[in-house]
Structure 1
C-alpha cells in the first residue's frame, strides 16, 4: 500500500505544468540547543506569494538534510493543510536515508468552490486560510554532542490546479542545532541512584 501511494504521488507531481508562481519555504528548529538523548522538533513552513494571486498549494516534494552522526529522525507529522490523509483527502509519505528525509504530499481536494468540477467540500481554500502555514513537523533525537546544519532542497511544488510553483527563497532559521552533554550534576545524581536504592532495601 505504501509503495502504491508513493507511485500515485510521484505521478501527480509529474503532471504539473510549467507556469511560475512563487513561494518561500523555511525550516524552523524549535530549539537552538538540546541535551544529548533529548528530542526536539523541526517545523517546515511555506509562505505563498499572494502578490501573484497564487492558487492554494496542492502538492510538494522536498528533501531535508541533516547530520546523521548527530541526530536521528524519530517521527514525522504532516500539517494537514492539504487534506486529511486518514480519510483519503491527500496522499503523503516520507523516507529516510543517508542523512536526508524526503517528504511529499499531494492533495486530492479541489482548490475552491468557485473553480471546482465535483464541488465537494472541504476545499484547499478552507484549509489554507493563511498565506503561511506548516507543512510538517519532524521530531529528532540528539545522538551525540556537536552541531548539525540543516539543508533544504525543493524537488517539486504545485498549486491547486497542478501548475508549477517556484520556490524563490529557502530559509533555514537557526541553521545549526547544537547537542550538548548532560550537566555533570545530572551524571553525579544518576551515579548515586543505585546507592539510594540499596540503602532503602
Structure 2
C-alpha cells in the first residue's frame, strides 16, 4: 500500500513540477553536482559520493527533487544510498522517499518530497543524497545526472546547472604488494647464491 502511495506521490510531484516549469518559473543559479568530483578507488573498494545542491538564492528552498544518476555499471556497483535530512526527517514522516531505485543498468533514480511547510532553515548549499559504490573492475567511470526535476518549497520548478564526476578504479594494491614482495624474494635468493 505504501509503495502505491509513493508511486502516486512521485507522479504528482513530477506532473506539478513540469506544469510549473511550462508556465515559466523564474530561473535560479542553482547547481547540482557530485562531491568529490573525481577520485580513485581500488577494485573491491568502496566509495561514497554526495549529490549536492548549491547556489540557492536567498529565500529559495528545495522542497522536492527527482533525478537519475548515470554511471558505468561495468566498473561500479551501486550498493546503497542515503537521503539527506535537509528536506525533512524521513523516519518522522517529514519527507517521503519516492525513489524508483534501479531503472536499468547504470541508472538509478532518486526522488524525495518534503512535507514540511517551512524550509527556511536550509543553507545555500547542502547534500541531497549520498551514493555508495563498490568498484568491481578496473577503469574509469563517469557519473552524471539525468531527468532532473527540482522544485522549491511552493512547487515551483527550479532550473539547475549540472556537474559530473569521475571515479577511477585501479587494481588492488595487494597484487602490487605481492609482485614487489616476489621481486624482493628473488633478489634475496640471488644474494644468497652469490655468497
The reply to whether TM is greater than 0.5 is yes
TM-score, length basis structure 2:
0.80
1:3 and 1:65 map into 2 onto residues whose CA distance is 25
1:137 corresponds to 2:143: no
Q: What does 1:190-201 align with in structure 2 at a 5 Å threshold?
A: none
Counterpart among 55, 60, 67 of residue 62 in structure 1? 67
TM-score, length basis structure 1:
0.77
1:97-153: CA deviation from partner (whole Å, max 9, x where unpaired): 22011100011111xxxxxxxxxxxx3113x1x100000000000000011111112
Larger Rg: 2
Determine the structure 1 residue equivalent to 2:94: 89
Deviation at 1:187, TM superposition (A): 4.7
RMSD: 2.0
2:47 and 2:98 map into 1 onto residues whose CA distance is 21
1:20 corresponds to 2:26: yes
Deviation at 1:30, TM superposition (A): 7.2
1:151-185: CA deviation from partner (whole Å, max 9, x where unpaired): 11243111001111111x1112xx32111111225
Structure 1: give runs of 5+ residues left out of the alignment: 111-122, 190-201
Q: What does 1:111-130 align with in structure 2 at a 5 Å threshold?
A: 123-126=118-121, 128=122, 130=123
1:74 corresponds to 2:79: yes
Whether the 8 Å CA contact 1:63–1:153 is kept in 2: the answer is: yes
Whether the 8 Å CA contact 1:13–1:106 is kept in 2: the answer is: no
Large movers: runs of 4+ above 4 Å = 185-189
Deviation at 1:12, TM superposition (A): 2.5
2:155 and 2:55 map into 1 onto residues whose CA distance is 15
Deviation at 1:32, TM superposition (A): 1.0
1:162 and 1:21 map into 2 onto residues whose CA distance is 14
1:34 and 1:8 map into 2 onto residues whose CA distance is 37
Whether the 8 Å CA contact 2:38–2:166 is kept in 1: the answer is: no
Deviation at 1:48, TM superposition (A): 3.7
Structure 2: give runs of 5+ residues left out of the alignment: 181-195
Aligned residues: 170
